[in-house]
Structure 1
Amino acid sequence: MGEQILIVQFEDVLSIENNQMVQHFAQLTRTLKIEGVKDIVTAMSNFSIMYDPLLISFEQLKEKLAQIELTEIHGTKKKSRVVHIPVVFDEQHGPDLAELAKITGYSVQEIIKMITSKTYYVYMLGFIAGLPYMGDIDERIIVPRKSNPTAKVPKGTVAIANRMTSIYTVESPGGWHLVGWTPMNIFDVTQNPPNFIGAGDYVKYEPISSEDAYKWSKQVRKERNQLWNI
């Protein structure tokens, strides 16, 4: 805990219920509009408050947080939205699908069906700007990160590792298993907010063909991807 950061820690477990409490408490803190608080960033089981010590002290900030009643933290949570993400699942865009089939013993088509049959909860954004950590993957295809990371993972790549799935928001190295690609731009610095997906949302992958993906990308790139959001 640094001089300008206060961390509010919840139970150190990975669960939707615990994370929803984190999101809810963070939102209640935002509504206080505390002078000196510069930003609030949520994580899996905690959230961090960045503040200006010249405007508010650590003890004063703790007193402000104490105004939030325990009943409020456990109270009604905001209604989550479901964001539908179009994804191409094939060998070109999902180069690790064949290897996953060997590891798990399931066919590529069975793996794709397992991935697309679930709706994933967004636990947090992090690592790379706007990169969502979502879960939980079907337990039959839970695999650890790759021992040899991929040097360049294209922007928009859908990947899985351990209990999580994610979408790479920029080209970068990565150790997750690459299973597909989306034409949707889920992080755009020209937009406010830049994140199309937020912590607390739910995400559903919708399989589409490669041809449709490129047509879709060209048609709606300027429309902020709204066609797939409900």
Structure 2
Amino acid sequence: MKTRYSFGGDEHIFVEMDEEMSLDAFFKSLSMTNAVRAAEIDGVTEICPANASFQVKFDPDRIKPDDMLAELKALEHTAESAEKKLKTRIIDFPVFYRDPWTHETLMRFRDRHQDPNGTDLDYAARINGFDTVEDFITAHHSQPWFVSMVGFVAGLPFLYQLVDRSRQLEVPKYVRPRTDTPKQTVGYGGCFSCVYSVRGAGGYQMFGITPMTIFDPKQETNYLRDFMVFHNPGDIVKFRPIDRAEYDQTLADVQANRYTPKIAEVDFDLDAFNADMDGFNAKLMGALNDV
């Protein structure tokens, strides 16, 4: 697909690298946003990256919209030679699947769901061809996930599974959104998993909940004192299933500021990943064993 540019009112330009999400599109978008930032274009006030696109906010009193568009198009060649290596981190991320809180919530909204007679996990397992919910949960946590963007609401990560496209899980959003979702719910919509950073409305399927705080605007959580948002684009997340006892203990540790997330520094190489996805993932996940 040819890069597509569109104006958003008088102060924004939206740049779409591809119509579908892929890691190649993510790296092209990342390369171009870095180039825009490095160019220090007079009038640019904000650059907002997304899954396979980004948006630039600018001051039209300092630079005309058509001139801003021309500046961006002049940098497009950087996307074609995008750097496909990234120094990042892999995070051990505990998840209590089939927890009572998301279950209570999803049962209140069955009239908005594709399958009113089951649960979100029942539906997800069936449409993805798994014999049991346990098999689906295993597929969800067995391979790592790539944080392609953070947003929609403050601190919410969108995660793209690091597997071959034929193995990617696909689950549509609710037919009509809920008016309630528990804080820190692990959800799923389309090809993306997510973690709801705050309680509120939502349309993604609900699979479980994490005891980890991922957004703290007061920055009182010990591991969020440098920045209120936990995830960064480019992070790699390894979901780890836990039971109720570990959930309760971890939650108590988080609330008492005794909890430190398990994190390892890693190098992500897109070409090496594409050449041997399972082998590359094993090395990524193995890095957590050394922490």
TM normalised by structure 1 equals: 0.84
Report the counterpart of residue 250 of structure 2 in structure 1.
216
Shift of 1:156: 0.4
CA 1:89/1:20 → structure 2, altered by over 3 Å: closer, same or farther? same
Asked if structure 2 preserves the Cα contact closer than 8 Å seen for 1:86 and 1:183, the reply is: yes
Aligned length: 230
Asked if structure 2 preserves the Cα contact closer than 8 Å seen for 1:183 and 1:217, the reply is: yes
Shift of 1:114: 0.7
More displaced, 17-26 or 220-229? 220-229
More displaced, 64-73 or 192-201? 64-73
Report the counterpart of residue 200 of structure 2 in structure 1.
172
One of 2, 6, 26 as aligned partner of 2:13? 6
* Residue 227 (str. 1) matches residue 234 (str. 2): no
One of 143, 160, 165 as aligned partner of 1:135? 160
Report the counterpart of residue 55 of structure 2 in structure 1.
48
Shift of 1:102: 5.0
1:172 is paired with a residue whose SS is coil
CA distance, structure 2, for counterparts of residue 222 and residue 175 of structure 1: 32
**Can you list the C-alpha shifts for 1:175-227, whole angstroms capped at 9, x where unaligned?**
22211100111122234543211222222101122222222222234659642
* Residue correspondence of structure 1 range 25-174 to structure 2 within 5 A: 25-62=32-69, 64-65=71-72, 68=75, 70-71=77-78, 74-76=81-83, 77-93=85-101, 95=103, 96-103=120-127, 104-136=129-161, 139=167, 141-174=169-202
Shift of 1:122: 1.8
Asked if structure 2 preserves the Cα contact closer than 8 Å seen for 1:122 and 1:200, the reply is: yes
In structure 2, what residue type is equivalent to 1:29?
V
Shift of 1:63: 5.2
* Residue correspondence of structure 1 range 15-26 to structure 2 within 5 A: 15-26=22-33
CA 1:62/1:114 → structure 2, altered by over 3 Å: closer, same or farther? same
CA distance, structure 2, for counterparts of residue 78 and residue 180 of structure 1: 30
CA 1:21/1:54 → structure 2, altered by over 3 Å: closer, same or farther? same
CA distance, structure 2, for counterparts of residue 73 and residue 223 of structure 1: 45
In structure 1, what residue type is equivalent to 2:44?
V
CA distance, structure 2, for counterparts of residue 151 and residue 72 of structure 1: 39
2:239 is paired with a residue whose SS is strand
Structure 1 alignment gaps of length 5 or more = none
More displaced, 76-85 or 163-172? 76-85
CA distance, structure 1, for counterparts of residue 239 and residue 230 of structure 2: 15
CA distance, structure 2, for counterparts of residue 196 and residue 186 of structure 1: 5
CA 1:196/1:224 → structure 2, altered by over 3 Å: closer, same or farther? farther
CA 1:224/1:131 → structure 2, altered by over 3 Å: closer, same or farther? farther
Asked if structure 2 preserves the Cα contact closer than 8 Å seen for 1:88 and 1:209, the reply is: yes
Structure 2 alignment gaps of length 5 or more = 1-6, 104-119, 220-225, 265-291
- Backbone CA RMSD of aligned residues: 2.8
CA distance, structure 2, for counterparts of residue 128 and residue 213 of structure 1: 24
